[in-house]
Amino acid sequence: MNELEIEIMNIMNQIQYGFLDEKGNNIINYDIDKWNNDFSNFYYLLSPEELLIKKCGICWDQVELERKLFEEKGIQVSTYFICTHDDNLPSHTFLTYKYQDKYYWFEHSWQLYCGIHEYNSIKELLLDIKAKFIQSHIERQDAFTFIYKYEQPNYHITCADYYKYCEQGILMKLNEPLYFYHVVNKSADLSVGLLSLKYMYDHNMFSLFDKYTDKYRNRIVNDWHIDKYSNRDSLSLTREEILDGLELFRGVYGPSYIYFFKYPLTKKLGSKIEKLLIEKDIYRININDEEIQRKIKDIFYGYWNSNSDNELLNKKYYEKVTKKEYFSQYNDNLEMNFSTLNHIAIAFNDDYCPITFLEKIT
């Protein structure tokens, strides 16, 4: 560190992590339950001047003081907000700057990485922090983590308003693409996008709903071992009962799922696929696109060969499987020929996949 950075770090070293109550006591030190469960009710963003007086603040507060100290020295900085969309909504803010041809992460509040870290590019810097954050904070490996570049916020805003403000910043695109594929009737109306069964039902698109749910009637009554429907005539199932059956068998997002293959279907797979592709177009989606991930509420990676008695798959499987391996067990002679093609199910926030998320391929 040069003298300027040492001077700023010495000032920051006077700040402890936490938030003071009205009596001047650091809440995180004496009431961890209040800290964990009531934080959003008592927290507000401190100004740099208040932080210098109180000498206690979280990363959000500390970054604003760091911003002020660097800018007073004439050094241009960038600040970032990283957060994961899971039940706990963990987050962190950090400051970066460029000097000559290098990029630097100045960190004080995250004690594990307190110091100044050098990188060759801003992407290298952001990816490293993202990896460290996920390793340190994330319990659910399927949860999405985002980084936003944000400008100085208004002081004294609440926790909820701070999140909202930062997520209106610039979403950093860092992920490598991971594509999945969906086949669509050439005559289909895609003006909205790909529609889930729940979307069709909620928007009174009953003729379309009935067309795409007819195949589930026998499965709900005979194949999925759902006790409440085991003795029913499959044709007597109401639309509401079909949705209920899908939810009971596939989980709470069952009626919302839209299904995607890892690789695009080709005529070489057999006569069924060759005939199918005469009437179908193929679209792909990049599930690693951060803008798209913001609109996804769940991804289920499925079971091997679509059988719940088999291995539960995960994202790593799809990242590694080759095209040859993926199609190796496909059997064009099976009645349910797609069952041997492992596929994922995506539930989108509004129960449909917007057309802007899709790219038609040839």
Token pair for 287: 């599930």
Task: Measure the CA–CA gap between 161 and 44, rounded to whole angstroms.
Answer: 9
The confidence score (pLDDT) of residue 1 equals: 59
Mean pLDDT of 295-310: 91
pLDDT tens, residue by residue, 104-144: 999 999 999 999 999 999 999 999 999 999 998 877 667 89
Task: Measure the CA–CA gap between 306 and 299, rounded to whole angstroms.
Answer: 15
The confidence score (pLDDT) of residue 85 equals: 84
Domain edges within the chain: 3-171, 179-361
Which of 113, 77, 73, 75 shows the shortest CA–CA distance to 92?
113
- Percent of residues, the chain, with pLDDT higher than 90: 90
The confidence score (pLDDT) of residue 2 equals: 83
The confidence score (pLDDT) of residue 3 equals: 87
Other CB atoms within 10 Å distance of the CB of residue 338: 16
For the chain, give the number of residues. Answer: 362
pLDDT tens, residue by residue, 46-91: 999 999 999 999 999 999 999 999 999 999 999 999 999 887 789 9
CATH class of 3-171: alpha beta
- Percent of residues, the chain, with pLDDT higher than 70: 99
pLDDT tens, residue by residue, 331-359: 999 888 888 899 999 999 999 999 999 99
The confidence score (pLDDT) of residue 307 equals: 83
Q: Does the pLDDT at position 308 exceed 90? A: no
Answer for the pair 269, 330: CB distance below 8 angstroms, yes or no.
yes
The confidence score (pLDDT) of residue 309 equals: 87
Q: Mean pLDDT across the chain, nearest whole number?
A: 95
Residue 31 confidence class, pLDDT cut points 50, 70, 90: very high
Other CB atoms within 10 Å distance of the CB of residue 132: 18
Other CB atoms within 10 Å distance of the CB of residue 109: 22
Alpha-carbon distances of 334 from 55, 86, 270, 337, rounded to whole Å:
69, 39, 11, 5
Q: Does the pLDDT at position 216 exceed 90? A: yes
Q: Does the pLDDT at position 312 exceed 90? A: yes
Mean pLDDT of 206-227: 95
Phi then psi for residue 284, to 5 deg, are -125, 155
The confidence score (pLDDT) of residue 89 equals: 82
The amino acid present at 285, given as its one-letter code, is I
